[in-house]
Amino acid sequence: MAQKNIHYYQKDEKIIRAGEQEKMMFIILEGEVEVSLIDNDVHIVIGNLGKNDFFGEISLFSKKPRSATIKAISNVKAFCIESEMQLTMFLLRNPKFASKMVKILAQRLARTDEILIGKISELNRIKLRLEQADDTLKLNKGIIKDIINEK
């Protein structure tokens, strides 16, 4: 690992901020970070990552801004990968890490799928309740019209 690619972060320092366009991936060599999102002005901690975990990989392949904020919760030493080519070379030289990365990405995708399925189910339940409420309103409106017309 090239020394120029080693970055150091102090406890409580933000390594990545949601909304940034920076294209870098990090592998934690020492320390621990907190992964969080802001949703409707509410700070939501997704989890923590530690030694040999990685983050920021999506930014290497996507033109989208960062979706999460990563904050050091201890002093952190991280290896920084700045391009797809650099990642490819790193993975070719480190097949065990490449295998681990594929497994972790598959787990993250499965977890995202589970969340998405849950949200779709929740939306379907809400839609059904709204349809039932609409039917009730229509029925009540008809009853009120009948009462008014009887007078």
The CATH number given to whatever domain includes residue 75 is 2.60.120.10
Regarding whether 135 and 72 lie in a shared domain, the answer is no
What is the extent of the structural domain holding 71? 3-93
Regarding whether 50 and 70 lie in a shared domain, the answer is yes
Regarding whether 112 and 69 lie in a shared domain, the answer is no
Regarding whether 89 and 140 lie in a shared domain, the answer is no
Q: At what angle do helices 95-150 and 84-93 cross, to 10 degrees?
A: 130
Q: What pLDDT does 120 receive?
A: 92
Regarding whether 66 and 42 lie in a shared domain, the answer is yes
List average pLDDT for each run of 10 residues in the chain, which is 151 residues long.
86 94 94 92 91 91 88 98 93 94 91 89 91 82 75 64
Cβ within 8 Å of residue 48, ≥6 positions away = 32, 33, 34, 35, 73
Q: What pLDDT does 151 receive?
A: 64
When divided into structural domains, the chain yields a total of 2
Query: Model's pTM, two decimal places?
Result: 0.76
Amino acid making up residue 3 = Q
